[in-house]
Amino acid sequence: MYLGTLVGMTGPIGMMKQHDLRDWAQRQTRCHDYLLHGSGMLKDGWWQLNCDLQLQNGPTFHIEQEVLADPFYRFIEKTWMWQQLVLAIPLYWMGGLSWLVWGVSVRIAVSVGGHWLIGYFAHNDGERTWRVEGAAVQGHNIRLAGLLSMGEAWHNNHHAYPGSAMLGLYTDEPDPGWWVLNALRNLGVVKNIRLPIQLPLRPELIAEATDLDRRVERVPEDCDIAKFIRRG
């Protein structure tokens, strides 16, 4: 959670609100261009990196009390921008201004800009295995960015199974984020990981790909869940 905060977007509670707002909006039959990345690249980039959308009648989010009451989460939510000093001070001490610029400023610009860029393409163009019927926005898989984005670019899979910890659902979809989570699960550091077979059935989820039977489902060797992909 702390490493995620150092990316430089917001704190953990703010990230939950941002993600859940976008996720809610994209499941509606109509969605504002800001939340669906529906404008041209230059306009969308300006919006996403410099602006915010205020809804007059937006949804109400109920975040779990164990998150809201957690003292560590509350602390880094209030101080998330100041947390860069944890890196900035030792970087400047060890390497001077150049280390500070590359280790903080450039890193944040690349991380935040890259997050927007993946989101823009993942909601506009790319491969699709699944379609969520009735949703204003469909996710797309961006194969070239699968590794670089820690699996986030398998965004069509995420729209199909938003509660799944694994995003790369097939052996030809590398998912480093899942590799890390699964390793931490094996070490007992994280728990309650959920995969598609453990999620509620979604009658609105339709399989679009014609080669699902040919592709090999990902089965983690150290995971006791053998088969978890449902086909529409």
Number of domains in the chain: 2
- Say how far apart CA 72 and CA 77 lie, in whole Å: 8
Tens digit of pLDDT at every position of the chain (232 positions): 899 999 999 999 999 999 899 999 999 999 999 999 999 999 999 999 999 888 888 888 888 998 999 999 999 999 999 999 999 999 999 999 999 999 999 999 999 999 999 999 999 999 898 899 999 999 999 998 988 888 899 999 999 999 899 999 888 889 999 999 989 988 998 888 888 888 888 889 988 865 555 454 554 444 443 344 333 3
Please indicate, yes or no, whether the overall pTM of this predicted structure exceeds 0.85: no
Same domain, 168 and 211: yes
Same domain, 151 and 210: yes
Of 124, 142, 160, the one marking the end of a domain is 124
The DSSP annotation for 188-226 comes to TS------GGGSPP-TTEEE--S-TTTSPBP--TT-S--
- Say how far apart CA 121 and CA 6 lie, in whole Å: 24
Domain that holds residue 67: 1-124
- In one-letter notation, the amino acid at residue 66 is E
Of 75, 109, 124, the one marking the end of a domain is 124
Of 71, 94, 124, the one marking the end of a domain is 124
Same domain, 120 and 134: no
